[in-house]
C-alpha cells in the first residue's frame, strides 16, 4: 500500500484510481498468475468503479479466485509492469 501511496503522488492520482486502473487492466488481459500467499494480510477501503466490480465478479466465476485475491493480482501485475 505504501508503494501505491508513493505512486499516487508521482502520477497525481489517488490510490483508488491506481487500483481501479490495475483492476481494469486485469479484467481486460485476464493475466492471473497465482502465487503462494505470504501470510500477511491488510485491509484497506477503496472506491471501486461499478464496471470493475462486475468484471471482477466475472473473473471470480470464471477462474474460482476470490475478489480480494484478484485485486491483489491486479496491483502486483501493475507494479511489475505486466499487462
Question: Which band of pLDDT confidence, cut at 50, 70 and 90, is reported for residue 52?
Answer: very high
Rounded to whole angstroms, the Cα distance separating 30 from 58 reads 11
pTM over 0.85: no
Q: Map residue 35 onto helix, strand or coil.
A: coil
Query: 15 pLDDT exceeds 70?
Result: yes
Kindly report the number of other CB atoms within 10 A of residue 79's CB atom. 13
Amino acid at each position: 500500500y505504501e508503494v501505491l501511496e508513493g505512486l499516487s503522488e508521482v502520477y497525481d492520482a489517488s490510490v483508488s484510481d491506481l487500483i481501479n486502473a490495475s483492476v481494469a487492466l486485469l479484467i481486460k488481459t485476464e493475466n492471473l498468475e497465482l502465487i503462494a500467499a505470504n501470510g500477511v494480510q491488510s485491509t484497506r477501503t477503496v472506491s471501486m468503479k461499478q464496471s470493475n466490480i462486475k468484471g471482477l465478479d466475472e473473473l471470480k466465476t470464471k477462474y474460482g479466485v476470490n475478489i480480494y485475491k484478484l485485486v491483489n493480482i491486479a496491483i502486483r501485475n501493475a507494479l511489475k509492469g505486466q499487462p
